[in-house]
Amino acid sequence: MVALWCCFCCAAERFPHHWIHIGQIGKFLRLARAAGCRDVVFIGALVRPSLWQVHPDFKGLRVLPRAIAAYRGGDNHLLSGMGKLLEDEGLHLVGAHEVAPEILMPEGTLGRVQPSERDRADVGLGLDYLHAAGRFDIGQAVVVAGRHVLAVEAAEGTDAMLGRVAEMRANGRVRAPRGTGVLVKAPKPAQDRRFDLPSIGPRTIEGAGRAGLAGIAVVAGSTIVAEFEQLVTAADRANVFVLGVPSGSEQ
């Protein structure tokens, strides 16, 4: 039995689950132990809670100073701090890619659309940027067209960034023709792969299509593909390529 620590879990409808408040560490540990869990998997994006939204139980109160120390700093810092806290309680943290390797992006393209040489140059520039910016623990995504960076993701998330590119194309701020440009996502260089791996799903494809992009590039083996078949169908329909670059290309 694996305990899932999950913010917005699509699996919740189908599997036995419990909802807990942020900060109910004691309740989480009690439920996990009662179900015989020894492993924990973190799933989903992190929206940093306000400290006022945390409702700690007794155990939560005891670990509050450590949680606050983890909260200060970037997302990686927060996640690894919370991870260590659970490991000190005897739980073993594993990555989603370890329990379900089939959800990871393979090398090469999904669907029938292929990137052009120009697209590959944009992918290269995007990977370089993400590598250089990675130590700042910012976002994991960037949009590049014609070797020009159009948008950088930070707290707003990938979908909002793609919406911005669509808007800039519509209002003429971005003049690169439709059908050019790529969304590039990559894990941060020092990222603990047990937390918050970049992910793509049909919604990402639709966002890229609305933004008029040629395609999406992610790092093979380090990116979660949600709803694989729907994603491939959406990519072919939107005429968008989906490319898995070999791990190490981002360095």
Q: How far is the CB of 184 from a second copy (least distance, A)?
A: 12
Q: Which is nearer to a second copy, 113 or 138 (CB)?
A: 138
Strands 39-43 and 2-6: parallel
Q: How far is the CB of 117 from a second copy (least distance, A)?
A: 14
Q: Which is nearer to a second copy, 111 or 196 (CB)?
A: 196
Which pairs from 161-165 meet CB under 8 Å and 24+ separation? 162/204, 162/207, 162/208, 162/210, 162/211, 162/213, 163/207, 163/210, 163/211, 165/211, 165/212, 165/213
Strands 92-93 and 215-219: unpaired
C-alpha torsion sign, points 24, 139, 228, 103: negative
Rounded-to-integer distance, Cα 139 and Cα 155, Å: 7
Q: Which is nearer to a second copy, 128 or 227 (CB)?
A: 128
Q: Which is nearer to a second copy, 61 or 155 (CB)?
A: 155
Q: How far is the CB of 189 from a second copy (least distance, A)?
A: 12
Q: Which residue's structure tokens are 């999904």?
A: 110
**Which residues would be at the binding site for a second copy (CB under 8 A)?**
47-50, 53, 72-75, 125, 128-129, 132-133, 135-139, 143, 146-157, 160, 164, 168, 172-175, 177
Q: Which is nearer to a second copy, 129 or 228 (CB)?
A: 129
Q: How far is the CB of 194 from a second copy (least distance, A)?
A: 21
